[in-house]
Amino acid sequence: MVVSREFFNLVTYGVFQALAELYGKEGWRVPPAFGEIAFRELKKRIKFDGLKPIKALNKLARYFEKVGYIEKIGFEQIGENELIYRMEGVSIDWAVSKLKEEGGVLPHYSTYIYTAALKELFGIEAEMIDLEFSVVEGKFCATEKWILKKKG
């Protein structure tokens, strides 16, 4: 059995709008915590030994594509400390659009899993400094720009 895109959007919207309504700005503490918890579980299924940061991100990207969360993912390193993350065919299109419109907490499922991976595996903090949404050929797309900083 596969969970439908419609239901995944409904659940995502309900949970993240509830966070916004019940906890306001404090609700934004949940997505990063989700990312750390989810990455702990993914490490049991995906091996990252010996990979450089961009290769680890790409390995996670292939996982997200395989499970149907996002159709196509790409990373582009622009400079030593900047990264562009492009997503095409994001499955939670309706939920994200509605949450953004209503000022809700945005899930950023993959983003927070990636940032947890960078932090845990490489001691790199990633900060999203730009986010754009678009629809290309009927597919919901998003582009994020990150600044990468080595901890310590």
CATH of the domain at 128: 3.30.1380.20
| Domains of the chain: total | 1
Q: What is the pLDDT of residues 102-147, one digit of tens each?
A: 999 999 999 999 999 999 999 999 999 999 999 999 999 999 999 9
What is the model's pLDDT at position 142? Answer: 95
- Average pLDDT score over residue span 71-82: 93
CA pair distance 91, 104, nearest whole angstrom: 18
Range of the domain at 129: 5-150
Would the pLDDT of 79 be above 90?
no
Residue whose pair of structure tokens reads 């900060």 in the numeric block: 127
What is the model's pLDDT at position 1? Answer: 86
- Average pLDDT score over residue span 68-72: 96
What is the pTM (predicted TM-score) of this model?
A: 0.94
The set of residues, in sequence order, having a beta carbon less than 8 Å from that of 93 and lying 6+ positions away, is: 9, 140
